[in-house]
Amino acid sequence: MKQCRRSFLKSGVAAAALMATKPCASLAAPDVAEIAHDPLRPEFHLMPQHNWMNDPNGPIWWKGQYHLFYQLNPHAAVWGDMHWGHAVSPDMIHWRHEPIALAPTPGGADSEGCFSGSAVVFDGKPTFIYTGVQNAPPDQVTIRDGNDKLRETQMLAVAEDDKLLRWKKDQKPVIASPPPGMMVTGFRDPCPWREGDTWYLGVGSGEREVGGCVLLYRSKDLRHWEYLHKLAQGKPNGKVAVNPCDSGEMWECPDFFALDGHHVLLYSSENKVFWTTGEYDTHKHLYFPLKTGVLDHDAAYYAPKSFVAPDGRRILWGWLREMRPDAQFSAAGWAGAMSLPRVLSVNHDGYLEMMPAGEFEKLRGEAVTAKVSAGEPLRLKLDALRHEISIPLGTAAPKFSVKLVTDGRKAWELAVDVAGRTVTCGEIAVPIPQTPWKSDALRIIVDASVIETFVVGREALTSRVYNVAAGKTELQIDVIGGESVEVKHWPLQAISKDRLTT
């Protein structure tokens, strides 16, 4: 969990927010009608109509529809009282909100929250496996982040209808405690997969001074699990931190799957998402990572989760978190958005690659191509903050920059140094990989306060930018060295009439 969410939990404001479990509880947040006009709210990224969201949970294709669930606080735009929100889509781009899928059961093992998890089809029925949290005596606590009050267990819920509106929970956890003798820093976010007639399950965990890890379990029926060993083990980063996620002593949201002849493990820790690719020994059930990298270079992207689309594509969703002060997003009445769906692949050298799913391109209006020469910047006034630009990389323009400028002031900048093989955004330097560069080598997708950038289909960078405003913000491209670049750009449609997603 992010440090600010944890420390926030202890603060008075958070206590008030958490006690605000009745819909009328007021934190003086704007109502939905006002939120619909908030110019910083993205217009084609999925988000609940108001309040707080975080991780994507249990993505699944079922009976012709994409279902996406997500961590939701239905009471306020701050983290707390986690439920599973639900949205449904024919194409992963246009969404309809559905009623809450999972809510904490008073007195149950998830009474303090339904944390992240996954969906699989078992016995012909969509089934969630997720983490329940409840208050517990010190010897049963599993979240050791300075607050040390909660116990995590792995729980099951089965869909009772094909629209996935009603879910029946098993009363008892299916995994009630971490492996005996382990003093875990956390024990959550189960990710299951099937090998033949056996189910395997990775659970995010870690130990102080040992590092974050994924615990591996096995079962025939999703209800009786046998602990095997650690599937993967990390190292602490040397920082002394109360929250073990900050010191690399806890891994959240593991995701493990086969892709393009490799195995991929994703996990979230140290405010980043890491990918590894490697080999998985299916006899010994051991994973050997060979290559590793950062999945998105800004901390705004966290806790992703993948699933397989009906055509076999491995699609990844990620939580785009707010990077402005808590008081600001809490007052705005909304916090967090879902990333665009990213199609994952692994190239022949074992690097993880990603691009927005092709479905996204339906949002494009008419393409405009512009040649931008040194000394003659391209200036596009954005009447709507929904725009995509695509720029090839090459020697004709070894250095150029892409900026968002609001009322003459720089709001965001990407500095591209082709010769130096780096794209820089503030403090963040993203390497430009040496693979063959296509015409869309650099793709930048702007949606109000969200900017998703893709470099050569390999590196990604998600920025949150708050000093932008439709009609006042310009997209500016300057060629600094060399001759020119050919910029292709599109206006993008919103997915709803207002900013409320449906």
Number of residues forming the site for ligand FRU (CB under 6 A): 14
Contact 53, 78 (CB under 8 A): no
**Is residue 116 within the footprint of ligand FRU (CB under 6 A)?**
yes
Interaction mask 438-477, ligand FRU, x per CB under 6 A = ----------------------------------------
Backbone angles phi, psi at 151, to 5 degrees: -110, 135
Catalytic annotation, pick one of 55, 110, 145, 447? 55
Closest to ligand FRU by CB, 68 vs 253, is 253
Residue among 66 and 115 whose Cβ is closer to ligand FRU:
115
- Binding string, 347-366, against ligand FRU, x = CB under 6 A? --------------------
Look up residue 500 and give its DSSP letter.
Answer: S
The residues, any chain, with a CB within 8 Å of residue 93's CB and separated by 6 or more, are: 44, 341, 359, 360, 362, 363, 495
**Nearer Cβ to ligand FRU, position 75 or 188?**
188
| CA 502 – CA 95 distance, rounded (Å) | 6
Q: To the nearest whole angstrom, how small is the minimum distance from the Cβ of residue 85 to ligand FRU?
A: 12
How many CA atoms are closer than 13 Å to the CA of 384, on its beta-carbon side? 17
Please identify, using beta-carbon distances, which residue of 141 and 405 lies nearer to ligand FRU.
141
- Does 479 bind ligand FRU (CB under 6 A)? Our answer is no
Q: What is the DSSP letter of 26?
A: -
Decide if 21 contacts 322 (C-beta within 8 A). no
H helices of 266-425, where?
A: 326-332
CB closer to ligand FRU, 342 vs 386: 342
Instruction: Determine if residue 441 is left, alpha or beta; phi over 0 gives left, psi from -120 to 50 gives alpha, anything else beta.
Output: alpha
CB 286 within 8 A of CB 213: no
Q: Pick from 1, 216, 295, 315: which binds ligand FRU (CB under 6 A)?
A: 1
Torsions phi, psi of 370, nearest 5? -135, 135
* Separation of alpha carbons 189 and 154, rounded Å: 8
Q: Tell the smallest beta-carbon distance from residue 223 to ligand FRU (Å).
A: 21
Q: How many helices (H) and strands (E) does the chain have?
A: 4, 34
The structure tokens 């110019």 sit at 39
Q: Which residues pair with 401 in a beta bridge?
A: 415, 478
User: Using CB under 6 A as the criterion, what x/- string covers residues 275-314 for binding ligand FRU?
Assistant: ---------------------------xx-----------
How many other C-beta atoms are found inside a 10 Å radius of the C-beta of residue 92?
21
Q: Does 253 bind ligand FRU (CB under 6 A)?
A: yes
Least Å distance, CB 273 to ligand FRU, is 10
Q: Least separation, in Å, of the C-beta of 247 and ligand FRU? A: 15
Q: How far is the CB of 158 from ligand FRU (least distance, A)?
A: 20
3-state secondary structure 29-42: CCCHHHHCCCCCCC
Cβ at position 125, least distance to ligand FRU in Å: 23
Cβ closer to ligand FRU: 113 or 236? 113
In the bound complex, what is the minimum distance in angstroms from residue 2's beta carbon to ligand FRU? Answer: 7
- Binding of residue 115 to ligand FRU (CB under 6 A): yes
The answer to whether the CB of 449 falls within 8 A of the CB of 469 is no
- Is residue 81 a contact residue for ligand FRU (CB under 6 A)? no
Q: 55 an active-site residue? A: yes
What is each CA distance from 338 to 170, 292, 450, in whole angstroms?
29, 24, 10
Q: Would you call 473 helix, strand, or coil by DSSP?
A: strand
The tokens describing 147, both together, are 């607050």
Angle, vertex CA 256, rays to CA 251 and CA 258, nearest 5: 155
Identified binder of ligand FRU from the candidate list 82, 191, 214, 402, rule CB under 6 A = 82
CA angle 325-144-13, nearest 5°? 35
Residues 384-413 within binding reach of ligand FRU (CB under 6 A): none
Q: Residue from 131, 269, 306, 449 that binds ligand FRU (CB under 6 A)? A: 131
Instruction: Verify binding: residue 269, ligand FRU, rule CB under 6 A.
Output: no
Contact between residue 129 and residue 154 where contact means Cβ atoms under 8 Å apart = yes
Which listed residue (71, 269, 306, 449) binds ligand FRU by CB under 6 A? 71
Phi, psi of 5 (to 5 degrees): -70, -40
Draw the binding track, 188-227, toward ligand FRU (x: CB under 6 A; -: no contact). xx--------------------------------------
Of the candidate residues 35, 51, 54, 88, the single one contacting ligand FRU (CB under 6 A) = 54
Q: How far is the CB of 391 from ligand FRU (least distance, A)?
A: 33
Using CB under 6 A, list all residues that contact ligand FRU: 1, 54-55, 71, 82, 115-116, 131, 188-189, 252-253, 302-303
Q: Report the catalytic residues.
A: 55
